[in-house]
Chains A and B, each alone.
Chain A
């Protein structure tokens, strides 16, 4: 069974540009999560989708970040315009059931560098 995949693996952009990250969850997983780790800090929750609906977006840092999951399959996270402090590793995770008791499987992450 394929795991969670993310694209691209790395992205280097200049401040003010736009970047779109993609996550493909494990097939059949209705729950999709985005997390982020910035340098020197812990991994932090950004948001949670159940199918195509945003269940919890309390971790989104500001309105420069837009997440979508049209059709309830893959998800995109767009940063527009990117700022220096957006640099970090963006992880996507998926799980079959909601709730923290069900294992979340993480993708390999997208390493974003904003210059």
Chain B
């Protein structure tokens, strides 16, 4: 079983739609949680960290449920520029090793 599992993609949505990504992690020792974004043939870039209290950055809202070992990302009012692969990532504070999910591809259409 993969340590970080994400919804299979791709997600094809129209502009303006709300889209939700889900992710589960298997290691309860995981201490840090992130969503990264990766554009085609580019490097991953940090989108946002995820906290137990939930956090929001503009149109993006991330939630963490430690009891269920579940992480989510909600994108409201999708833009064409949101088209990318979204990677769910967990980390261990000792050392900093990051564990990546396989990613979910999002395509926002006009």
Which A residues are closer than 8 A to B by beta carbons? 31, 33, 35, 41-45, 48, 55-56, 58-59, 91, 95, 98-104, 106-109
**Would you give the shortest CB distance from B50 to chain A, in whole angstroms?**
12
Q: Is B99 an interface residue, CB under 8 A from the partner?
A: yes
**Would you give the shortest CB distance from A87 to chain B, in whole angstroms?**
15
Contact A106 B43 (CB under 8 A): yes
**Would you give the shortest CB distance from B45 to chain A, in whole angstroms?**
7
Contact B100 A43 (CB under 8 A): yes
Main SS of chain A's interface residues? loop
Contact B95 A107 (CB under 8 A): no
List A contacts of B62 (CB < 8 A).
none
The distance in angstroms between the C-alpha atoms of A100 and B31, with both chains bound, is 8
Interchain residue pairs with CB less than 8 A apart (14): A35-B98, A42-B4, A45-B98, A48-B97, A56-B97, A59-B97, A91-B43, A95-B96, A99-B95, A99-B96, A100-B31, A100-B91, A101-B93, A104-B96
Contact B32 A100 (CB under 8 A): yes
The distance in angstroms between the C-alpha atoms of A106 and B100, with both chains bound, is 13
Contact A56 B87 (CB under 8 A): no
Contact B87 A100 (CB under 8 A): no
List A contacts of B94 (CB < 8 A).
98-99
Which B residues are closer than 8 A to A by beta carbons? 2, 4, 31-32, 42-46, 49, 87, 90-103
Contacts A42-B2, A42-B4, A42-B101: A100 and B43 contacting too (C-beta < 8 A)? no
Minimal Cβ-Cβ distance residue in A for B5: A42
**Would you give the shortest CB distance from A73 to chain B, in whole angstroms?**
19
B98 partner, pick from A58, A104, A108, A109, beta carbons under 8 A: A104
List B contacts of A31 (CB < 8 A).
96
List B contacts of A109 (CB < 8 A).
43
List A contacts of B90 (CB < 8 A).
100
Minimal Cβ-Cβ distance residue in B for A3: B43
Contacts A41-B102, A43-B100: A98 and B44 contacting too (C-beta < 8 A)? no
Contact B43 A108 (CB under 8 A): yes
Minimal Cβ-Cβ distance residue in A for B6: A42
B46 partner, pick from A56, A103, A108, beta carbons under 8 A: A103
